[in-house]
Amino acid sequence: MNKTALSFKLSIVFLREGNSFIAYSPALDLSTSASSFEKARTRFAEAAKLFFEEVIKKGTINEVLQELGWQKHNKEWQPPLIVSQETESIRVPVVL
């Protein structure tokens, strides 16, 4: 059996919530958490690897990536790119 490796560059957002660190990739709609930044990074890499292993094993990688907004260019899948991340103020009128 011929084996090959796929590689992707993913944008990952790291958040801190209290004492936890969250790693999230919009391109996979996948997240994980840990007690440290490095552990969150490591866990995310493991989760992403499992994600790809499962969709490849099920034979659904094309459908799943397309549903997540990925596009195929020159026979290679390209994830959607984060073009901006901003903080915005939102005002919501509330009747008390």
Three-state DSSP at 90 gives: coil
Give the span between the Cα atoms of 34 and 96, in whole angstroms.
Answer: 39
- State the pLDDT confidence band at 2, using cuts at 50, 70 and 90: low
Q: How confident is the model at residue 1 (pLDDT cuts 50, 70, 90)?
A: low
pLDDT tens for 15-65 read: 999 999 999 999 999 999 999 999 999 999 999 999 999 999 999 999 999
| Domain-wise residue ranges, the chain | 13-78
Q: Are 21 and 36 in contact (CB under 8 A)?
A: yes
In contact, 19 and 34? CB cutoff 8 Å? no
Amino acid at 2: N
Question: Model-level pTM?
Answer: 0.82
β-pairing, 30-34 with 20-25? antiparallel
pLDDT at 3 over 90: no
